[in-house]
């Protein structure tokens, strides 16, 4: 009887050259629109023909990625942490982190391909084989109709839902909102400074709206709520207390994440989990919220929190405080897959957002994976190297190039030699 052949390590690496000799040789960008947001796809190229893909967060400038190019050329992408530490100073909270995070995704894609392993293995292995997704759904003024929209998501297989409940539903209804001149129209003034208040009548209308939704979808499925508007903490507490009766999954971003003391006040006043974090960059930004027991759930966006490895660190830190991690995501399948690998590798992961359910072509932007990518409310964790897809669908990419900035992986040589004194110490 012949002895079965034993697996060989060299069958799982690219032996035509050594991963230790892998070098980044180029960074190029393709701008897409309608996902439903605008985004920039990063492609890192190497001296061995391997390419890695990442994504700049929705609404962020491609410049945030391009300015990193001169810092990346010649680096070995397998040294993910070393390269990330070199470039992380060029990110900041909100969309300004988009370049750093997109590059980190591409580094993980390249490192996984170089060693023949899926990205989750580089993050320590996986806790689950499929990733639960929650479905965000556009609002409608009628609560019963909103319930029907969400019920249609349930019929598609989604087992976790989210909707918006805020002052946008009250505009034009007399006696529901009190506000100084111009504040209801402003989007750039933070909540504590607007002076906007909800009246008892306004709170009652929003409560009836949520009741109508629950009457349609029932109470067996989690329903999170978001986009309350730029209202002060006192109105948040009054509204939150009223909506507690509907057993919602969480109140998201009721107030800006920076105001830890206000989050403590809110969380202690209501009986529904509180949630924030999609604009926070790096694990240090989550420390005040966690140390002060200010929120029940953290909600990082991997495309602004620092990428795959940093977001896993954020989740692990939250677990030490008994806090779960949901993940915000409104992007292409490339960023979605980066989230999937991070979620697979993070024990206290709860659920991942999907914002593209109504785009039938969304899943087909990449090849080599099931279409649709989300099936029965889950994304299967890929086992292929890197982020897990074979390649981009170039024809479909070209159909969705942003007409206002039609860039499709053209040369970016103008960014090759930008230099500055980057060192943060003397």
Which residues, including other chains, have CB under 8 Å from residue 317's CB and lie 6 or more apart? 283, 286, 287, 290
Tokens matching residue 167: 């002052």
Q: What angle do CA 201, 198, 259 make, to 5 degrees?
A: 155
Can you give the pLDDT at residue 43?
A: 98
Q: Which domains does the chain show, CATH number per domain?
A: 23-117+404-415 (3.30.390.10), 122-391 (3.20.20.120)
Can you give the pLDDT at residue 13?
A: 57
pTM of the complete model: 0.94
Tokens matching residue 107: 């580094």
Residue 276's nearest CA partner among 98, 101, 291, 259 is 259
Rounded CA-CA distance 307/382 in Å is: 18
Tokens matching residue 226: 């978001």
Can you give the pLDDT at residue 339?
A: 98
Q: Give me the helix-helix angle, 80-87 and 98-115, nearest 10°.
A: 170
Longest CA–CA separation in the chain, Å: 88
SS3 string of the chain?
CCCCCCCCHHHHCCCCCCHHHCCEEEEEEEEECCCCCCEEEEEEEECCCCEEEEEECCCCCCHHHHCCHHHHCCCCCCCHHHHHHHHHHHCCCHHHHHHHHHHHHHHHHHHHHHHCCEHHHHCCCCCCCEEEEEEECCCCCCHHHHHHHHHHHHHCCCCCEEEECCHHHCCCCCCCEECCCCCCCCCCCCHHHCCCEECHHHHHHHHHHHHHHHHHHCCCCCEEEECCCCCCHHHHHHHHHHHHHHCCCCEECCCCCCCHHHHHHHHHHCCCCEEECCCCCCHHHHHHHHHCCCCCEECCEHHHHCCHHHHHHHHHHHHHCCCEEEEECCCCHHHHHHHHHHHHCCCCEEEEEECCCCCCCHHHHEECCCCCCEECCEEECCCCCECCCCEECHHHHHHCECCCCCCECCCCHHHCCCCCCCCCCC
User: Which residue is it, tokens 């948040």?
Assistant: 236
pLDDT mean for each 10 residues of the chain (426 residues): 61 67 98 90 97 93 96 98 97 94 98 97 98 94 98 97 97 96 93 97 98 98 97 98 98 98 98 98 98 98 98 98 97 97 98 94 97 97 98 97 95 92 87
Rounded CA-CA distance 120/383 in Å is: 9
């Amino acid at each position: 009887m012949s002895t079965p052949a034993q697996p060989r390590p060299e069958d799982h690496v690219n032996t035509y050259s050594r991963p230790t000799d892998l070098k980044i040789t180029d960074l190029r960008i393709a701008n897409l629109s309608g996902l439903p947001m605008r985004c920039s796809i990063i492609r890192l190229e190497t001296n061995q023909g391997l390419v890695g893909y990442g994504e700049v967060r929705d609404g962020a400038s491609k410049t945030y990625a391009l300015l990193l190019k001169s810092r990346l050329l010649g680096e070995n992408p397998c040294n993910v942490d070393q390269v990330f530490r070199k470039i992380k100073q060029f990110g900041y909270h909100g969309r300004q982190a988009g370049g750093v995070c997109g590059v980190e995704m591409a580094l993980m894609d390249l490192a996984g391909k170089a060693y023949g392993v899926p990205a989750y293995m580089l993050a320590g292995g996986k806790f689950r084989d499929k990733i639960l997704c929650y479905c965000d759904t556009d609002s409608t003024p009628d609560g019963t109709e909103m319930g029907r929209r969400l019920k249609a998501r349930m019929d598609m297989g989604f087992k976790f839902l989210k909707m918006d409940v805020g002052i946008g539903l009250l505009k034009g209804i007399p006696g529901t909102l009190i506000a100084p001149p111009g504040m209801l129209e402003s989007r750039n003034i933070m909540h504590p400074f607007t002076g906007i208040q909800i009246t008892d009548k306004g709170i009652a209308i929003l409560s009836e709206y949520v009741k109508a939704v629950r009457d349609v979808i029932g109470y067996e499925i989690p329903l999170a709520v978001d986009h309350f508007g730029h209202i002060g903490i006192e109105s948040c507490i009054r509204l939150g207390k009223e909506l507690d009766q509907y057993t919602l999954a969480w109140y998201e971003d009721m107030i800006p994440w920076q105001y830890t003391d206000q989050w403590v006040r809110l969380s202690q006043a209501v009986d529904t989990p509180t949630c924030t974090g999609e604009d926070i960059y790096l694990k240090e930004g989550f420390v005040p919220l966690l140390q002060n027991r200010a929120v029940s759930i953290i909600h990082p966006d991997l495309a602004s929190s620092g990428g795959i490895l940093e977001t896993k660190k954020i989740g692990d830190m939250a677990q030490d405080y008994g806090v779960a991690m949901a993940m915000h995501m409104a992007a292409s399948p490339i960023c979605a897959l980066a989230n999937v690998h991070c979620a697979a590798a993070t024990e206290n992961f709860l659920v991942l957002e999907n914002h593209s359910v109504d785009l039938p072509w969304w899943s087909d932007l990449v090849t080599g994976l099931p279409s649709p990518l989300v099936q029965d409310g889950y994304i299967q964790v890929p086992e292929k190297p890197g982020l897990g897809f074979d390649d981009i669908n170039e024809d479909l990419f070209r159909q969705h190039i942003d007409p206002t900035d039609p860039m499709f992986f053209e040369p970016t040589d103008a960014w090759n030699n930008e230099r500055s004194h980057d060192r943060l110490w003397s």
